[in-house]
Amino acid sequence: MENQQDKNIEAFLVANQRYLFKFVVNLVLITCIGVFMYGLFGDSMSDMFDQPEVVSEEVQKKNRQKRKATAAAIAADDMDRVENGIHVQTGFVYAEGFDVVRGTCTACHSAKLVTQNRATREGWKDMIRWMQKTQGLWELGKNEPIILDYLAKNYAPDEVVRRPGLDIAAIEWYILDLSDESIAAKE
Amino acid sequence: MSDKSKKIGIHELYAQGKEKAEKKLWGASANRRGFLKRTAVLAMGTALGAPIVFGKTYPSGLIPAGLAHSKVPFALPGKHPGLTILNDRPINAETPPDLLDDKITPSDKLFVRNNGIPPVDVDVNKWTLTIEGEGARQTKTYTLAELKSKFQQHTYQLTLECGGNGRSEFNPPAKGNQWSLGAVGCPTWTGVRLKDVLEDVGIKSNATYIGYYGKDTHISGKPDKVVISRGVPMDKALEEESLIAWAMNGQDIPALNGHPLRLVFGGWPASCSGKWLHKIVIRDKVHDGPKMTGQSYRVPCKPVAPGTKVANEDMCIIESMPVKSLITFPKTGGTIKQTQNLPIRGHAWAGGPAIKEVSFSIDFGATWQKCELEAPANRLAWQHFNAKVSFPETGYYEVWVKATDSNDVSQPMLLPGWNPRGYLNNACHRIAVKVQ
């Protein structure tokens, strides 16, 4: 009996601890984001608010250094985040060759210009040649096969017919209320 | 459906989460200098948890790094949040069909197809337009004020459609932004006739083509690299509806669409209509600026099998756009009761001829019924159609719409001829309807 009570208390404490832990983690996270943003924009933030300077120059300098270190750590963490095999920041498939592809392709354009396209290895090679000829892309050297392997594997063409039927799975069905006046033709 | 054609909103571009973006606006819009209005900057600041300090000069179309991973909805400056963002550098965004329901496309709902980075800090008082070239009798420069005061002003409603609209359906796939249906719009444009300005400069008898130069910069960062410089033959340049425009729907053209000055050639691939216009060359040959040559905005001169490699010399420049139509009401996926007639409506256009008929089918093209069709506001403006559709029984239906132009040319039901870059897909628009 007493044992059971102990267990209950223990469970209660554990739950509370978990709650406290979550709270602290959130607090730290929110603070970090704030510090990060302040680190980015803080230097000139006072201009926006027209607030008088009350902190000494030296303390400010120290704080700024501290902030910058924290911000850099968070930024590095975010830049490396991978979810469901997708590199979160760029949207690229996280697979062999990713680093080279990110470094090369996003130097000029959005990763989205890659990820929305599909082609065979030859097709991707043609695109690279076109970019080299007309868009200022440099010679890729030993990186070229790495990039081509990555693209041909992860962004290959789909097997589709001449014109696919409507994508039923993608349709968001809704009740169309035809008595609604808002459906009247716009001028 | 493949990821390729999955539509996503802009914050997802950065967050790259799988959730569909909730479409909401910051109240973001660009002022006429191309920067976010203060309210929008403040709204972004609120979302960031800190004000954006350089808000006064925050350029249109840039997404703050602090929002990169957030789930906060975001819209392009001056643009409706419902636009589908295909690419953020350079910015490319299309308008879902149901947002194109207005007869005159509102400025915030016109698609964005940028090849480079729009200029920031545009000063309308210092903006000039220079005309020169082998086919010009002289080199002459006009200020914006001179253009407005010296020449008669004209307003036309003109359809602009990206040459690659519909590219996403081609197979084998074509490279480039994977436009689906909405790289088209028909706002009103105000400006002066290109013809009047060219004639004021003086056109030599050897004049063949005009080419434009804009103030946008190349995404590679190379300062002197021309982003895009296309144009049209003299015949098209001298048409009455060919404008040098400064206003869309009576107001400054949105920064992302070419403020303060652009060309507008209704009915031709929108890439002919140069944005941030500062120079026009009158050429004695077909203009050969970037994206006039090679495979850009060209299709095989003779039909080819899907997937064929076509040599540059066998590719021909696209001129007017083909006949096409779009159902703008209802949005695909509507469920109605069988007792109800379904009103449908939309627009139809062709690159030169008028539209003479629009029909719809609810049986996958087996039978067709005529829609009511309105006359265009002027030549090269899209025309509105509507119909009441009744369904014989409950079930799943698709409503297909097909336009026919005054030359008796209609839209295909399947994809038209494959071409290496995926241009000119004018296959009929299809929506799904459930009748219960």
Same domain, A64 and A100: no
Assign A184 a pLDDT band (cuts: 50, 70, 90). Answer: confident
User: Each residue of B147-182: pLDDT tens digit?
Assistant: 999 999 999 999 999 999 999 999 888 989 999 999
Q: Give CATH for domain B324-435.
A: 2.60.40.650
Whether the predicted pLDDT of B11 surpasses 80: no
The answer to whether position A23 is within a domain reads yes
List the single range of A16-20, B103-107, B266-270, B432-436 with lowest mean pLDDT: A16-20
Q: Which residue has the higher pLDDT, B160 or B9?
A: B160
Test the B interface: residue of A98, A176, A180, A181 with most B CBs within 10 Å: A176
**Does one domain contain both A101 and A149?**
yes
**CB-based burial label for B249 (10 Å; 0-12, 13-18, 19+):** buried
Amino acid B12: pLDDT: 42
- Closest Cβ opposite residue B427 in set A30, A84, A163: A163
CATH at residue A148: 1.10.760
The 10s digit of each residue's pLDDT in B109-155 is 999 999 999 999 899 999 999 999 999 999 999 999 999 999 999 99
pLDDT average, residue stretch B347-374: 97
pLDDT confidence of residue B136: 98
Kindly state whether A55 is in contact with chain B, defined as any CB-CB distance less than 8 angstroms: no
> What CATH superfamily is the domain B128-317?
Oxidoreductase, molybdopterin-binding domain (3.90.420.10)
| Residue written as token pair 């850009």 | B296
- Regarding whether A100 and A75 lie in a shared domain, the answer is no
Domain limits for position A71: 2-79
State which of A19, A49, A79 marks the end of a domain.
Answer: A79
Which pLDDT score, from 0 to 100, does residue A182 have?
A: 65
Contact residues on chain A for B290, CB-CB shorter than 8 A: 134
Share of chain B above pLDDT 90, in %: 78
Assess whether A72 and A113 both reside in one domain.
Answer: no
Q: Is A138 on the interface with B (CB under 8 A)?
A: no
Q: Is residue A184 part of a domain?
A: no
Residues of B in contact with A38 (CB under 8 A): 50
B291-311 per-position pLDDT tens digit? 999 999 999 999 999 889 999
What is the tens place of the pLDDT at every residue in B206-215? 999 999 999 9
pLDDT at A10: 54
Out of A37, A56, A79, a domain closes at A79
A76 close contact with B: CB closer than 8 A: no
Burial of B19 (0-12, 13-18, 19+ CB in 10 A): exposed
Is A25 domain-assigned? yes
Domain count, chain A: 2
**Which of the four pLDDT bands, split at 50, 70 and 90, describes residue B393?**
very high
Average pLDDT, stretch B69-76? Answer: 54
Rounded CA separation B39/B48 (Å): 14
Domain end point (choices A79, A110, A131): A79
B355: left (phi over 0), alpha (psi -120 to 50) or beta: beta
Q: Mind listing the pLDDT tens digit for each residue in A21-71?
A: 555 556 555 554 544 444 444 333 333 333 333 455 666 666 666 666 666
pLDDT at residue B51 greater than cutoff 80? no
pLDDT at position B277, please?
98
Identify the DSSP state of A143.
H
Hunting for tokens 């270190």 — which residue is that?
A: A69
Q: How far is A136 from chain B (nearest CA, A)?
A: 7
Phi-psi region of A141 (alpha: psi -120 to 50; beta: other; left: phi over 0): left
Contact B103 A186 (CB under 8 A): yes
Q: Please name the helix (run of DSSP H) or strand (run of DSSP E) that holds residue B383, with its range, or none.
A: strand B383-389
In this structure, are A121 and A100 located in the same domain? Answer: yes
**Cross-chain Cβ contact B51/A48 below 8 Å:** yes
Residue B432 has pLDDT above 90, yes or no: yes
Contact B254, B248 (CB under 8 A): yes
For residue A159, the distance in angstroms to the closest alpha carbon of chain B comes to 9
CB contact burial B414-427 (16+ within 10 A = b; e otherwise): ebbebbbbbbbbbb
Domain ranges of chain B: 3-82, 128-317, 324-435
Of residues B240 and A16, which shows the higher confidence score?
B240
DSSP string, A37-51: HHHHHHHHHHHHHTP
pLDDT value, residue A78: 78
Q: Residue B435 and residue B2: Cα distance in Å, rounded?
A: 28
Average pLDDT over residues B63-68: 39
Q: What is the pLDDT of residue A181?
A: 64
Question: Each residue of A78-91: pLDDT tens digit?
Answer: 788 999 999 998 99
Whole-number Å distance between alpha carbons of B11 and A93: 18
Query: pLDDT tens digits for B253-292?
Result: 999 999 999 999 999 999 999 999 999 999 999 999 999 9
pLDDT of B42 higher than 90: no
Q: pLDDT above 70 covers what percent of chain A?
A: 56
- For residues B362 and A24, the model is more confident at B362
Same-domain check for residues A75 and A127: no
The answer to whether the Cβ–Cβ distance between A162 and B343 falls below 8 Å is no
Q: Check pLDDT > 80 for residue B13.
A: no
Q: Which residue of A has its CA nearest to B177?
A: A113
